[in-house]
Amino acid sequence: MQPKVDKDTCIGCGTCSIMAPKSFQMTDDGKAKAINPAGDDEETVTKAKDACPVHAISL
Contacts with ligand SF4, residue ranges (CB under 6 A): 5, 10-16, 24, 32, 52-54, 56-57
CB of 43 to ligand SF4, least distance (A): 17
Task: Catalogue the E-assigned strands of the chain.
Answer: 4-5, 24-26, 32-34, 57-58
**Strand, coil or helix: 16:** helix
Residue (5 or 38) nearer to ligand SF4, CB: 5
Residue 17 β-bridge partners: none
CB of 59 to ligand SF4, least distance (A): 12
CB of 3 to ligand SF4, least distance (A): 9
Residue 26 β-bridge partners: 32
